[in-house]
Amino acid sequence: MTKIKKQIRLFFDIREGESKKVAYMFFLIFFLIASLLIIKPVRNSLFLSEIGVSKLPYAFILVALFSAVIIALFSKYSKKFHIGRLTRAVMDISILSLIGLWILLHFGIETKIFIYVFYVWVAIFGVITSMQFWLLSNYVFTIREAKRLFGLIGAGGISGGIFGGYLTNFLAPIIGTENLVLVSASFLFICIYLGKYVWVHYGRKNYSERISKTIQIESSEKKGSSFNIIRKSKYLTLFAGIVGISVLVSNLVDYQFNMIVSQNIKNEDELTAFFGFWLSNLSIFSLLFQLLFSGKIIKLFGLRTSLLFLPFSMLLGSIAVFIIPVLSSALLLKVSSGAFKQSINKSGRELLSMPIAADIKNRVKAFIDVFIANIATGLSGILLLIITIGFDFSVQQIGLISIFLVLVWTVLIYKIKAEYIGSFRTAIERRSINLDEEQLNLTDADITGSLLNVLKSDNKNQVLYVLNLLENFKSEKLIPHMKRLLNHRSADVKTAILNMLDGFSKDEFYAQVLELMNDKDLNVKINAISYLYNNSDNPEKLIEEYIHSGDPQIKIAVMMCIANSYREGAELWENAKLERLFDSVFSEESIKHLSPDEADTMRIYASNFIGISSYPGLFPYLYKAMESDSAEVKKSAIKNMGETCSTEFLSTIIETLNDRKLQKYSREVLAGYCDGAIPLLVERLQDKNEDQSIKNAIPSILGRIYSDETTHALSDNLLTGDRTLRFEMIKSLNKLKTRFPEIDTNTANVNIAIIEEIEYYYNLSAILGVEQRQKIESDKIETSTTSSEARQLLVSSLKDKVENTLERIFRLLGLKYSSSAMYDTYLGIVSNNTKLSEDAIEFLDNILSHKLKQYVIPIVETRDSEQLLRNAKLFFGIEFKDEEECISEMLNGDDDWLKTCAIYLASTSDISKYEEKVKDYLNDSDPVLRETATLALNN
């Protein structure tokens, strides 16, 4: 890594392995916003030149109505598709729309309806593409990464806005307004490539796990409407009022600006260039103000001033327009509205949302940002119609309305400040601020003071909670508290402080951290040596000093530090030196003097070292660790094999799937390999000679990896004769189908499997009917206890198999229809609740195809075993005259347990009838079947 590259990474806090995805996401939002900032000026100029500013209120109303409906529908139906596919669909539709728009413009088809549609479309395009980008970001970055990097990613959007606006200003006079639409579309083509790359390489592997959590969160959040929550809270009511009135005033300002601009500039291309130029200027002003002044203003003057900045600046602009309604006054008004709204006001709004309890924040914030904002947009349109058409207000008189609304806005801001402080203190006490979701901007003096006071508490959990909130807060006010907490009795608190020290002067903490190398806790030592290494004038000397310590914990801490250093800059370390250091600490010779438990701890951390560093020269150690007698050492080796992401370990990890102690860890690691593990997993799944327990474990792993390849692998192998394996495949497909309803399964195989399972159900039911009759007859006469027990075991086993088959049928139907709906129907069928059962049957009667209905409905309706036997003969020609035919059928079947039960029953009477068939199982791979066959023939 070059020195410049390292400096850039340090400046932006980009860590090892993050550079590429940060770059892709930066340019994705760059080109998205650039595209939007090209099409927006085109829309505005087209509307003003062809329709006129007087009709702008109608456009506001249409935007409010259609955007609310379309965004609501989009949010609802977007849950049925994974983010990668949805993002591509949005881009494709947008590009096609823009090409269609260009064709209409090129051929002069500029009807009023078309222009209104275009105006609304651009508004919706801006909202939906932004929603999609940030939703994708949530799956590309972890929560911690997002906190550090979203500011930089957001700067990509502002940069794209600057670029797009200036490009519009430059190109509009040269190529004309209509051809800018194609430039916008070309940027979206770039976004398709960037979005696909990001999804495939970073987003998809996080999606499966996160979407299941989202489903759980959504189900818990359905309690109570957003409107009622806001209505019952004074704080939220004031919050909603501030958002609503800010949108209302912004639209009045927008109308005034457009009216003055349209009076001064008549040419369409000149209008497009003008709007592009000033939209870029607004972006630059917003960016500079945010970087240079926003944080300082909030820090010095607090929340209220940050919220008052926008209304006061708009007040000055409105007064200027009222006194001198010329283009320069209009520009002052627009700059005060647009620039501060996206900088200091946005920061203030984020501060306002902090005290809202995490379990309701997403719903309430979305309701305010979308629904309340849309109502305000619609009201602004209605208000403008009333005052311009009804009362014929001039641009100056509209300014008077804006001035009045700004005063109301100011009153709401003054009222919310007191509520904000109280709500924040309550949130801290209740710990209701979600640390996993918040990216906090703790610059308000009152809030900072409240948090720092909590750090004096004796309550360890409360202190840790606040330290998490202050994780990225760098202020000299924090230093005395951090120094004190480095001596806290809790190792967790000391570790949290050590993780916060980056960015503070080393002179403040270096000596104190040096003392922590004698702490009793290993994690404290690991974090302490990491800080010392990164801040030492001579890190190599520091390593040499501590690597020879007699304390095993210090040696471990040093090695973890080296592993992290190697991962961030492998070229800084010589391989020979790395191996020498590793052997000096972790070789069997080096740890032979330790107790067994201490030695195993060293082996575990040796594996951790390899997992963190991913140094191939040490990979053989992980194979050796798998030979250990300790399950914990093996688990660590498996976990760290996965951390290396090296496919060379796949076979070794797969082999552990038949070990019950390791199976759970192996599954998690293999699922973490995502696409890298799929080919080998599928190969082992299809291998006829593979260990059965390994084959049975593979479907659940594939079911946790969302891709077309895993879906096809599972559905293509559905017709396996092993029903236990088939059941595992079906369950995994069900999970995928529930999470991703759009998955494409092998429909032909699903249909065949459904019919096979239905036939098998009737087959088992027919055998069960015969065995139950035989049991009743046998119980009437004196028979051997062994024979009675054998038949009872067979009957019980058949009942279990029938129930399992019924579940498989419904799970397969779930692949054809809705997984969740079919499983709920199955639960209704097997319940003892008559009403639920009847409703389930009615549902099936309405949804199943005619062919399936004729097979399935009799199964769920019929309680009479004799009727089931008649249906078995009617539908599939299945009929067994006596027990002998049933036993032969089971011996020729594919269920090892039923074969075992059948042989056991036959052995209690005359085994000679089945002797030839039973001999086939003397060398069977199933140990229970093999032993039962041997005992039966020997008797």
Answer for the pair 146, 137: CB distance below 8 angstroms, yes or no.
yes
pLDDT value of position 456:
81
pLDDT value of position 363:
63
879: left (phi over 0), alpha (psi -120 to 50) or beta: beta
Residues in the chain: 939
Q: CB-based contacts of 38: which residues, under 8 Å, 6+ apart?
A: 164, 165, 167, 168, 180, 183, 184, 187, 276
* DSSP secondary structure, 710-743, as one string: HHHHHHHTTT-S-HHHHHHHHHHHHHHHHH-TT-
Q: How many CB atoms lie within 10 A of CB 748?
A: 12
**Residue range 213-270, pLDDT digits in tens:** 443 334 344 444 677 788 788 888 888 888 888 888 888 887 777 777 777 777 767 7
**From CA 335, how far away is CA 877, in angstroms rounded?**
82
**Residue range 685-700, pLDDT digits in tens:** 888 888 888 999 999 9
pLDDT value of position 218:
40
pLDDT value of position 148:
64
All CATH 1.20.1250 domain ranges in the chain, comma separated: 12-220
Q: Which two tokens stand for residue 831?
A: 């319940």
Kindly list the distances between the CA atom of residue 54 and the CA atoms of 10, 177, 395, in Å, as whole numbers in the listed order: 52, 22, 11
- Alpha-carbon dihedral sign for residues 591, 595, 599, 601: negative
pLDDT value of position 216:
38
Closest CA to 772 of 633, 694, 866: 866
Provide the angle, in degrees to the nearest 10, between the axes of the packed helices 663-672 and 631-644. Answer: 10
The single-letter DSSP state of residue 647 is G
Considering the domain delimited by 12-220, tell me its CATH architecture.
Answer: Up-down Bundle (1.20)
Closest CA to 97 of 57, 70, 61, 75: 70
**From CA 42, how far away is CA 56, in angstroms rounded?**
15
Q: Which two tokens stand for residue 336?
A: 């005060």
Answer for the pair 370, 64: CB distance below 8 angstroms, yes or no.
no
**From CA 25, how far away is CA 893, in angstroms rounded?**
56
Note every long-range contact of 145-152, with CB atoms under 8 Å and residues 24 or more positions apart, other chains counting: 145/18, 146/439, 147/439, 147/471, 147/472, 148/13, 148/472, 149/12, 149/13, 149/14, 149/18, 149/22, 150/439, 152/12, 152/14, 152/22, 152/26
- Alpha-carbon dihedral sign for residues 173, 174, 180, 184: negative
Answer for the pair 730, 719: CB distance below 8 angstroms, yes or no.
no
Closest CA to 132 of 96, 78, 77: 78
pLDDT value of position 359:
57
Which stretches of the chain score pLDDT less than 50?
1, 208-224, 435-439
pLDDT value of position 139:
73
The single-letter DSSP state of residue 292 is I
pLDDT value of position 808:
92
- Alpha-carbon dihedral sign for residues 562, 566, 569, 572: positive
